[in-house]
Structure 1
Amino acid sequence: MLLDKYHSEGAKQFDANKGKSMWHEQHIQKKTGKPVSCATCHTSDIRKTGSHIRTGKLIEAMSAKTNPERFQDTKKIEKWFKRNCKWTWGRECTAQEKGDFLLFFQSQ
């Protein structure tokens, strides 16, 4: 399980509330210089479909309760964490941050 992997990488206790807070945290996007957050594309309500602000591509709900199949493939989860953290935060997410996000996704 990914949470066990993240613990083995040095993460401590995960916190869904921290994941929710990070979801709305604004960062300056490197290419555009504009503020973005995870919610910019995925929406504030992770139970709903979002859309990429640049491409308009629809993004399925992030909630594990609404869209459980999203969390079946660990390679895909890691791929999207890497891509989206770099795009939004300008860096890869830490194991702690990924675990906090996963708990947030599971809580909704």
Structure 2
Amino acid sequence: MTSLRTLTLAALCALAAAGTSQAADTTAAQQLAHWSAQAGSPGNADKGKVFFTTRHGGEWSCASCHGTPPTAQGKHASTGKPIAPLAPAFNPKAFTDTAKVDKWLRRNCNDVLSRECTAVEKADVLAYLNALKP
């Protein structure tokens, strides 16, 4: 319980220190800490990888547009629009704008799952993405 309390406090402090009025108001690590705190447990990179690459009853998975692994430019499955690498180590701008992170997680989860992702699912996917290194 102490580590969860510490994680929650660290996430809140990091998000508060980052501010919310700037375009780059957060980091991928802060997003992971935030969603892990919301989930009540640390994100699990192995579960995040499975979630990311699995089709959840529809025709798409996260990997359909972002690639496997999501370390290079992706391409939207239906529009063909280029998508910057999703893994933060390959795209320093990934997960740096809280409003965009919330918007795209909501939109993409609805596309892939036909519902919003849970805090646990978000934490797991962010743990996976943060674990990818060059």
Specify which structure has the bigger relative contact order, considering alpha-carbon pairs within 8 angstroms and separated by 6 or more residues.
Answer: 1
Structure 2 residue matching 1:20: 3-state secondary structure: helix
Cα distance in 2 for partners of 1:2, 1:104 equals 13
Q: Tell me the residue number matched to 1:40.
A: 64
Aligned equivalents of 1:10 and 1:38: distance in 2? 20
Q: CA deviation at 1:14?
A: 1.2
Seen in structure 2, the aligned counterparts of structure 1 residues 96 and 36 have a Cα distance that, compared at 3 Å, is same
Give the match for residue 28 of structure 1. Answer: 57
Structure 1: runs of 5+ lacking an equivalent: 30-34
RMSD after superposition: 1.4
Residue 91 of structure 1 deviates from its aligned partner by 0.6
Question: How many residues matched?
Answer: 103
In the aligned structure 2, how far is the partner of 1:70 from the partner of 1:2? 10
2:96 alignment counterpart: 72
Percent identical: 36
Describe how 1:1-108 pairs up with structure 2 within 5 A. 1-29=30-58, 35-108=59-132
* Structure with the bigger percentage of helix: 2
The structure in which a higher percent of residues are strand is 1
Structure of higher CA gyration radius: 2
CA distance in 2, matches of 1:94, 1:9: 9
Q: Displaced runs of 4+ in structure 1, greater than 2 A? A: 1-11
Q: Which amino acid counterpart does residue 96 of structure 2 have in structure 1?
A: Q
TM score, norm. by length of structure 2: 0.70
